[in-house]
Amino acid sequence: MSVRVLFIEDDDVIRMALRMNLEDDGYDVVEAASGELGLEKFAESGFDVVLVDLRLPGMHGLEVCRRIRQRSVVPIIVVTAQSDTHDVVAGLEAGADDYVTKPVAPKELSARIRAIQRRMELPKHIVNPVSIQYHHRRCCW
């Protein structure tokens, strides 16, 4: 089963190049050139991962993250040229799970998508190993 990716990016060249690379890696990529269009496409069908630029025409990428996060736990990766610490923090606070700055190495982006997918696929019954160690220490001291 192919991983469905929604890629919200206004730059046609970047969107096409990354889409082609992601498709070469086996991803099913749906594109949107604005935040509003991205939200429409997100509402229409299920996606496994959302990639979103911050500087979009109309609705800012942070608002896109917030609106998606209100309705879904789908992993969101910000893909943007904005590399200031303030922007990174704002993206993560808005609901993004990861933050990648342009220019993006396509193989790195694919690896980040796979890493997020692995985490999302963990069985719900797995307990946090940190809490097990803490509990174990408390019991044994």
Q: Where are the domains of the chain?
A: 4-140
pLDDT digit string, tens, across residues 91-135: 999 999 999 999 999 999 999 999 999 888 876 555 555 544 444
Q: Which fold has domain 4-140?
A: Rossmann fold (3.40.50)
| pLDDT recorded at residue 136 | 44
Q: DSSP string covering 50-86, please?
A: EEE-SS-SSS-HHHHHHHHHHH----EEEEES---HH
> If pLDDT is split at 50, 70 and 90, which confidence band does 45 have?
confident
- What does pTM read for this prediction? 0.85
Distance CA 141, CA 135 (A): 10
% of the chain residues with pLDDT over 70: 85
